[in-house]
A = this chain, B = another copy of it.
């Protein structure tokens, strides 16, 4: 029985190639890779990443951490400034008995709260730094104050982290990676001034990955020239020691349009069917409940058609994508592969991704789907 459309398809060859390529590049650059698993939410893909050398996983929520630890991962970083109440503290203590666990913190107030509930449990913290995205994270110079507050209440400080989300803009990568490096360097100085060690400087994202790996790191070549090693360095110079990209495993239409993924590397699509020619249009059965409704300012539509780079999804509702299709329209019933704008959102809508192996379609569960808390 064929799998009904719309559904998500994974190209296993491309997926493996993407995972391998970034693992090799990070290894060559002597930077740890801790991929963000919120993109795929899949135990199969997490195992692939770990087998190819990732040192652990990044996740966004305690629920995701639980799913991946249950699936065998022994090292998770919840890169989020969690507010921890009694119930969440209990879950984190349970996790810390099974795996190496770190969480984010971005205020003195929150550090004090964490200390009351998690001090001495082995849960480590990284202080979140705002490197220009202006979402969460302290100003670099305030990092030491938060680190000191955490250390004082029994929370080991592993280091500092940032998310360079302002790199999601055309042509921004080099400048953003420089800002990220500067922020992490300042943060490190601020923490070491408190007499605390900074073992990890963590950053990165898929659109800035090439810039990070290409040597635009903080104050030195990413390849370790000048003897900088991330934990100390020459003349107080530090470079990023850990990268946390997520989307690179699949790619998506955002990366395609940012120029950071080639269409030939895109490993996840929504298989859809042409259901209507009304008004001369091409309407597909993959809508926002399959693709997600993300549409960045730079996006040229609500997703792309993998084999038709000139086609554009000009409107999207829950179960309809209206496509401007150049040339001859595909017949009703034709199946086409749609590249979602933001793959993390699309995966989180599906219970399974379908993977072709040895000529057969197999479902890979989206094990951490919907685990937002």
On whether A273 and B319 interact (CB within 8 A), knowing A135-B283, A372-B289, the answer reads no
| Among A67-75, A103-111, A149-157, A221-229, the stretch in contact with B | A103-111
Q: Which of B165, B283, B290, B344 contacts A136 (CB 8 A)?
A: B283
Given contacts A135-B322, A283-B136, contact A288 B345 (CB under 8 A): yes
Q: Measured between C-beta atoms, what is the minimum distance from A184 to chain B in Å?
A: 16
Which of A11-19, A20-28, A80-88, A305-313 participates in binding chain B? A80-88
Instruction: Select A350's contact among B81, B273, B319, B370, beta carbons within 8 Å.
Output: B370
Residues of B within 8 A of A80 (CB): 275, 285, 319
Q: Tell me whether chain A's interface is mostly helix, strand or loop, or mixed.
A: loop
Which of chain B's residues have a CB closer than 8 A to the CB of A130?
278-279
Question: A276-313: contact bitstring with B at CB < 8 Å (1 yes, 0 no)?
Answer: 11110101011011101111000000000000000000
Query: In the complex the two chains form, is A318's CB within 8 Å of B38's CB?
Result: yes
A186 beta carbon closer than 8 Å to chain B: no
**How many copies are assembled?**
2
Residues of B within 8 A of A342 (CB): 293
Among the listed B4, B61, B138, B292, which residue makes an inter-chain contact with A278, where contact means beta carbons less than 8 Å apart? B138
A-B contact pairs, 29 of them (CB 8 A): A1-B87, A2-B87, A4-B63, A4-B373, A6-B372, A61-B319, A80-B275, A81-B276, A81-B278, A83-B273, A83-B332, A128-B278, A135-B281, A135-B315, A135-B317, A135-B320, A135-B322, A136-B276, A136-B283, A285-B373, A286-B372, A288-B292, A289-B344, A289-B372, A290-B372, A293-B345, A318-B345, A319-B372, A350-B370
| A83 contact from B110, B275, B370, Cβ within 8 A | B275
Give min CB distance, A83 to chain B, whole Å.
Answer: 5
Give Cα A120 to B272, complex, Å: 28
How close is A335's CB to chain B, nearest CB, in angstroms?
A: 10
**A43 interfacial contact with B, CB 8 Å:** no
Closest residue of chain B to A5 (Cβ to Cβ) is B373
Tell me which of B139, B278, B295, B349 contacts A349 (CB under 8 A): B349
Most chain-B Cβ atoms within 10 A of its Cβ — which of A88, A113, A275? A275
Chain B residue at smallest Cβ distance from A295: B293
In the assembled complex, the Cα of A288 lies from the Cα of B288 at a distance in Å of 12
